[in-house]
Amino acid sequence: MKREILVYPDKRLRQKSRDVIAFDGQLHTLLDDMKETMYASEGIGLAAIQIGVAENVLIIHLINEENEQNEHDLYEMINPSIIKGLGKIIYQEGCLSVPGYYDEVERFEQIEVVYYDRFGNKIQREFDGLMSVAFQHELDHLKGHLFIEKLTYLKRKKFEKEWKKKRKAGE
């Protein structure tokens, strides 16, 4: 089922999510709903809190060279965490909860992460580049943070101005 995506400044986006304890049918339904919701909005990543569910669940589905999303590249990550971060990367980020705004954010270039799949299998991996950026962006959602909080002072001012203008226009 497609769900509604919460949009900034919805307070629910500031909630901290809790760990999943049962890898059951309810979790699988949540993951399937997240996928349907993300695809319907042409996103490449989504955290459960973006559809109002405060659980440590995120999905990432990057686009390949042919501009397609391969089933093979879909990541479902439960109770994810970063155990190591190296280097710096600056990437122009966007977010389904901040539609229409994109700006540069600094992240770790390379990360080592631990998470569980939908069946409760523990997985440890390294990511770099866009996958590393996407993981850190989605993990921030689970802690109650949005990418706009990481903007430099001037970029944040620019965002506030544009967002106000957009709301006034009734978008």
- Among 49, 60, 95, 111, indicate the residue that binds Co ion (CB under 5 A): 95
Whether the CB-CB separation of 150 and 136 falls below 8 Å is answered with no
Residue 80 touches ligand QAP, criterion: CB under 6 A = no
**Which residue among the candidates 138, 160, 162, 171 is catalytic per the annotation?**
138
The least distance separating Co ion from the CB of residue 13, rounded to whole angstroms, comes to 9
| Residue 65 near which of ligand QAP, Co ion, none (CB within 5-8 Å, type-dependent) | none
SS3 assignment, position 8:
coil
Residue 148 touches Co ion, criterion: CB under 5 A = no
Residue 139 touches ligand QAP, criterion: CB under 6 A = no
Whether the CB-CB separation of 97 and 50 falls below 8 Å is answered with yes
Residue with smaller CB distance to ligand QAP, 25 or 65: 65
Contact map string, positions 114 to 133, toward ligand QAP, x by CB under 6 A: ----------------x--x
Residue with smaller CB distance to ligand QAP, 27 or 47: 47
Give the separation between CA 110 and CA 83, rounded to whole angstroms: 11
The least distance separating Co ion from the CB of residue 61, rounded to whole angstroms, comes to 13
- DSSP code for 22: -
Closest by Cα among 46, 70, 72 to 60: 46
Q: What is the distance between the terminal CA atoms of the chain, rounded to a whole angstrom? A: 25
- Among 77, 134, 142, 146, indicate the residue that binds ligand QAP (CB under 6 A): 134
Catalytic: 138? yes
Residue 49 touches ligand QAP, criterion: CB under 6 A = no
Closest by Cα among 114, 113, 107 to 88: 107
Residue with smaller CB distance to ligand QAP, 45 or 116: 45
Instruction: List the structure tokens of 37.
Output: 């919701």
Whether the CB-CB separation of 147 and 137 falls below 8 Å is answered with yes
Q: What does each C-alpha distance from 121 to 23, 145, 164 come to in angstroms? A: 10, 27, 44
Residue with smaller CB distance to Co ion, 48 or 95: 95
Q: Which are the catalytic amino acids? A: 138
